Amino acid sequence: MDADNRFIPRSGPMFSRSSPAKAQMATDLAIPILADGGWPALTLRNVAAAANVTPQAIAAWFPSVAAMRAAVAAVYGDRWIRERDNLARTRTFSRDRVRTSSDVAEALLPQSWNEDVYDGIWLTIVEAGRWDETVGAAVATVQDRERDLVRRLLEPSWPDEVERLEREVDLVLAAVRGLRASYAPLRSGTTTVRAGSVLAGLAGAG
């Protein structure tokens, strides 16, 4: 499927339309905005247009644009890592006792267009966190949770080798984050050939 024909998701596991919380609703509205236009597009005017209300209505939810962006970063990050956790555990369920680093890395990489879009949005937030301290704090919290996830998935393979386990965690995170950064901006997905070669190298390093 050509990138031009792909759609930006507006429903699914990354959305929480049942919540009345302003930050949750703003994040629902922000997902397609971030996917289409990136961080600069996340403005009161664009969120208001997505909600079919006036910018003043959205401004009543948050004291500033910066506060809205920080809230979206925190809520989206929480949703993103929860979904990554669910998918990774499902994909490695048959390997409860022995999971290789490449197994875990592959489970964390996007395997559908929607997942690729969600990872791209997360990378947009990560980049914004480099110059926005509040957003950066939200990013750091999610990255700590991602590290804990990788550690939990790998721990059964090296239950008594703490140093080895931490090295494997570092390798998996480096490979996964590198592949995300390489491919998500292109909106073309992580190609099977490229991901396969990186994961094969990761398996060899183990």
Is 3 among the domain residues?
A: no
CA nearest to 92, candidates 198, 12, 100: 100
Examine the pLDDT at 199 and tell me if it is beyond 60. no
Q: How far apart are CA 188 and CA 7, in angstroms?
A: 13
Helix, strand or coil, per DSSP, at residue 38: coil
Kindly give, in sequence order, each residue whose CB lies less than 8 Å from that of residue 26, ignoring residues fewer than 6 positions away: 47, 58, 61, 62, 68, 71, 72, 75
**CATH code of the domain in which 125 resides:** 1.10.357.10
Is 122 among the domain residues?
A: yes
| Cβ atoms 149, 88 nearer than 8 A | yes
Examine the pLDDT at 189 and tell me if it is beyond 60. no
Q: What is the pLDDT of residues 54-85, one digit of tens each?
A: 888 888 889 899 999 999 999 999 999 999 99
Is 1 among the domain residues?
A: no
Examine the pLDDT at 191 and tell me if it is beyond 50. no
Is pLDDT larger for residue 78 or for residue 51?
Answer: 78
Is pLDDT larger for residue 200 or for residue 68?
Answer: 68
Q: What is the pLDDT of residues 2-36, one digit of tens each?
A: 444 455 555 555 566 555 588 898 999 999 999 99
Q: How far apart are CA 180 and CA 164, in angstroms?
A: 24
Which pLDDT score is estimated for 12?
A: 57
Helix (H) or strand (E) holding 17: none
Split into its structural domains, the chain has a count of 1
Kindly give, in sequence order, each residue whose CB lies less than 8 Å from that of residue 24, ignoring residues fewer than 6 positions away: 16, 75
Is 94 among the domain residues?
A: yes
Show the domain range for 86: 8-205
* Alpha carbon distances (Å) from 92 to 21, 47, 108, 119, 182: 33, 37, 10, 19, 24
Q: Which two tokens stand for residue 56?
A: 């003043």
Which pLDDT score is estimated for 75?
A: 95
- What does pTM read for this prediction? 0.81
Could you tell me if residue 187 is left (phi over 0), alpha (psi between -120 and 50 degrees) or otherwise beta? left
Q: How far apart are CA 135 and CA 172, in angstroms?
A: 24
Q: What is the pLDDT of residues 99-157, one digit of tens each?
A: 889 999 999 999 888 898 899 999 999 999 999 999 999 999 999 999 999 999 998 88
